[in-house]
Amino acid sequence: EVQLVESGGGLVQPGGSLRLSCAVSGFTLSSYWMHWVRQAPGKGLVWVSRSNSDGRTTYYADSVKGRFTISRDNAKNTLYLQMNSLRVEDTAVYYCARDPAVGATNGYFDYWGQGALVTVSS
């Protein structure tokens, strides 16, 4: 059974840092491109970042570029999102999501984690 489990969320002050983890099981992380998508309270879904299967190619939304870093440890089957210089507007539930193509990209997301809440507030 495919599972994605996020952890690492919490309350952080503006300007602070946090690292989210997404532990996957039921499939081999090294074969799949992975994404982070966030959802502010009561709002819609917003794509944040993408990592190709070996982690060497990454993309970011303009709103997080230069502050967030996506990475992965394929040996540990874990995806990460390092978030620095956090702002109040980064408050959201952060989901990791899998692109279903093996070794490539389809572009949509077939499996999602349950989400990790990040609250940025003083």
Partner 1 sequence: DIQMTQSPSTLSASVGDRVTITCRASQSISKWLAWYQQKPGKAPKLLIYEASSLQSGVPSRFSGSGSGTEFTLTISSLQPDDFATYYCQQYTIYWTFGRGTKVEVK
The residues of the shown chain that bind partner 1, judged by CB under 8 A, are 35, 44-47, 50, 59, 61, 95, 106-110, 112-115
Q: Which is nearer to partner 1, 19 or 43 (CB)?
A: 43
Q: How far is the CB of 95 from partner 1 (least distance, A)?
A: 6
DSSP labels for 55-74?
A: SS-EEE-TTTTTTEEEEEET
Q: Which is nearer to partner 1, 27 or 112 (CB)?
A: 112
Q: How far is the CB of 114 from partner 1 (least distance, A)?
A: 6
- Kindly give, in sequence order, each residue whose CB lies less than 8 Å from that of residue 3, ignoring residues fewer than 6 positions away: 24, 25, 26
Q: Which is nearer to partner 1, 15 or 45 (CB)?
A: 45
Q: How far is the CB of 116 from partner 1 (least distance, A)?
A: 11
Strands (E) in 1-122, as ranges, are: 3-7, 10-12, 18-25, 32-39, 45-51, 58-60, 68-73, 78-83, 92-102, 111-112, 116-120
Q: Which is nearer to partner 1, 44 or 66 (CB)?
A: 44
Q: How far is the CB of 121 from partner 1 (least distance, A)?
A: 21
